Amino acid sequence: MLVKAYNCGTLSGTYAKDAAALANAVKASGADVVLLPGTSAVRRSAAGAAMRAGAEIDTNIVDASLEGDAVTVQKWAYRQRILTSFTRAAKPWVIVTDPSLFGEICAKLGASAEAVPPCGDVETRTVQNGLEAASGGGESTIKPDAELLFVAGAGWTKKQADGAVHLDEAAAAITGFISKSGASLGSSKSLVDMPEAAEKFTFMSHMNQVGQTGATPRHKKGLSTCCHGEEPHVVGWRFISERRAVNLDANCGWAQGKADVLYVGDAFEVMKKVNALLGA
């Protein structure tokens, strides 16, 4: 069983070029199984590349094992309620994993990741004249490849120790940390549903929602602030490897065995100190 892995860091981000490069890599490798990390560029082009290479493809793979000449993979189904295990007889077989699990799965299958070889000129109707920063929307706060997920809860909009609400200060603390740390931003449903939050937290939308009715990200680390940590929140954290939380309530849900570390304190003061350290 020959397993080949490509880190895909050299992909251009253009579908026509990336699909051609991946298809050529799959065919030239002669491998039975080809591993790819599920970056945005790979997810956009891997299916087309597999079709061109005459390969089968499965995405969102969370684990894999090699037994003899058979690779068995695992994948969640039915809204992450059922973990399925299966294998395929078809060759080549393209397996796309979550980027955070790519290295671990490569090690399990005994494959060393290589760069995707260049495929030369590709005929395309798309002409890229350059890159221009988006205006108005600012920096994207959703970063699937980030190591850390930072989640903000409704506590940021509550009255603070002085009896006043400090939404501007809260927004500055959150965006400051996201900018300096490179973390991805998550939110509780209660926060993104608040009209006052929508007015001040323009960098956040329902796309950032994490939890039972939101996303279930797979970052290596997670930091929750001003979230009570009950079951709807924890569902969205099920794939986070290391969980930490900041909350004034020592009896909140995070303290009931749902966080690896709970900092009992004022999130405003904690994040102010953290941002100061990051900026030093």
95-117 confidence digits (pLDDT tens): 999 888 999 999 999 999 999 98
**What fold, for 3-114?**
Rossmann fold (3.40.50)
Check residue 230 and give its pLDDT. Answer: 86
Specify the pTM: 0.65
Judge contact between 229 and 254, C-beta under 8 A. yes
Distance of alpha carbon 246 from alpha carbon 231, whole angstroms: 17
Ranges of each domain in the chain: 3-114, 148-279
Check residue 138 and give its pLDDT. Answer: 55
Q: What percent of the chain has pLDDT over 70?
A: 96
pLDDT band at 12 (very low <50, low <70, confident <90, very high): confident
The yes-or-no verdict on residue 137 having pLDDT over 70 is no
The CA-atom distances, in angstroms, between 165 and each of 45, 83, 226 are 46, 44, 14
255-267 confidence digits (pLDDT tens): 888 999 999 999 9
Average pLDDT of the chain?
90
CATH code, residues 148-279: 3.40.50.1220
What's the rounded mean pLDDT across residues 118-136? 70
The yes-or-no verdict on residue 218 having pLDDT over 90 is no
Distance of alpha carbon 278 from alpha carbon 256, whole angstroms: 30
Phi and psi torsions of 216, nearest 5°: -125, 80
Domains 3-114 and 148-279 share a fold: yes
What's the rounded mean pLDDT across residues 136-165? 85
